Chain A
Amino acid sequence: MDAAAEGSPGRTLRLMAIGTLAGLFSGLFGVGGGSVIVPLLVLSLGYDERTATATSLAAIIFIASFAAATQGLYGNVNVLDAVLIGVPAVAGVLLGARLQQRLQTRSIALMFAVVLLASAIELVLR
């Protein structure tokens, strides 16, 4: 536990390791990296899941910005498409979070898993 104490070198090293891993994952796949950060914060630093999710989102601001900037150097970023997706996505997240309070999300999660699988097949067959 000492290694994970606030401000200790061990804690900083762990955060650095998590940041590096999340950065690799994010840069390689073009995603935020939350699915890497959240479990690592829970397992290695004793975070509860909600604090881990919240802190991961804040870290992703940096991670996705760095990765997007690096991709920009390769000339791969379609800025207009990113804006056209990112801005409505913000509205979508707010709406989704609101709906979450009222809906039973279990069946939605299962339906969405099917959509993901179908899209994965579509990608592979391309």
Chain B
Amino acid sequence: MIGAIVIGLAGGVVAGLLGVGGGVLFVPGLVIFLGLSQHHAEATSLLAIVPVAIVGAYRHDRYGNVRREDAVLMGVLSLAGAAGGVALANALSGAFLRDAFAALMVIVAAQLVHRALRAPSAAETPDRKT
């Protein structure tokens, strides 16, 4: 229980600081520290992301940065894709999915390094001034 709270808090701080989504932290945290299977970790991460996205969107919306109609269109029209992605994940083995996720983490790490080295302030871009 404490482990989950620590994962959430740490993941949230990093997400707020660096503009990296929570999921890329929640999933490995759930697998490594709480021993969840890759499938359960991904599913649980998705639900944990919802409140984070709600608060994040609300904060940005106060500054008028959210194009609401576009967001709703994209969101509603994502249903087929989201269902397909979940079906695909469940059709794959846990080991394969875990390795694919590890590859995703390497890409996110490379993006972070790239952004950090490009300009000292570039790593702050996504959430700047909000």
Q: A35-B21, A50-B128 are in contact. Are A104 and B89 (CB under 8 A)?
A: no
Q: Write the B18-62 contact mask toward A (1 if CB under 8 angstroms, else 0).
A: 111111101111111010100111111111111111111101110
Report the contact-size class of chain B (Cβ under 8 Å from the partner): 35 or more
Chain A residues, Cβ within 8 Å of B127: 53, 97, 100
Does A30 contact B46, Cβ atoms closer than 8 Å? yes
Find chain A residues with CB under 8 A from B109 CB.
112-114, 116-117, 120
* Contact residues in A for B101 (Cβ distance below 8 Å): 29-30, 123
Q: Does A110 contact B (CB under 8 A)?
A: yes
Q: Complex formed: what's the CA distance from A40 to B30 in Å?
A: 29
Chain B residues closer than 8 Å to A103, beta-carbon distance: 17
**Alpha-carbon distance between A97 and B19 when the two chains are bound, in angstroms:** 9
Q: Encode contact with A along B58-92: 1 for CB under 8 Å, 0 otherwise.
A: 01110101111011111111111111111111100
- A22-35 vs B, Cβ < 8 Å mask (1 yes, 0 no): 11111111111111
A117→B104 CA distance, assembly (Å): 10
B42 to chain A: closest CB distance in Å? 3
Partner of A24, one of B88, B102, B113: B88
A8 contacts the other chain (Cβ, under 8 Å)?
no
**Distance A35 CA – B24 CA, assembled complex (angstroms):** 10
CA distance A92 to B26 in the complex (A): 13
Q: Which residues of B contact A18 (CB under 8 A)?
A: 74
Q: Is the CB of A54 within 8 A of B47?
A: no
Is B18's CB under 8 angstroms from A89's CB?
no
Contacts of A62 in B (CB 8 A): 71-72, 74-76, 78
Q: Which one, B75, B79, B98, B116, contacts A61 given CB within 8 A?
A: B75
Whether A63 touches B75, Cβ cut-off 8 Å, given contacts A92-B11, A93-B52, is: yes
Question: How far is the CB of A74 from the nearest CB of chain B, in Å?
Answer: 5
The residue from A72, A79, A93 contacting B55, defined by CB atoms under 8 A apart: A93
> B residues touching A (Cβ–Cβ < 8 Å)?
1, 4-24, 26-32, 34, 36, 39-57, 59-61, 63, 65-68, 70-90, 98-106, 108-113, 115-116, 120-121, 123-130
Q: Could you list some 20 contacts between A and B, CB below 8 A? A: A25-B81, A29-B104, A30-B43, A30-B44, A30-B101, A31-B21, A51-B65, A58-B66, A63-B75, A84-B1, A88-B6, A88-B9, A90-B51, A99-B16, A109-B18, A116-B112, A120-B28, A120-B103, A120-B106, A123-B99
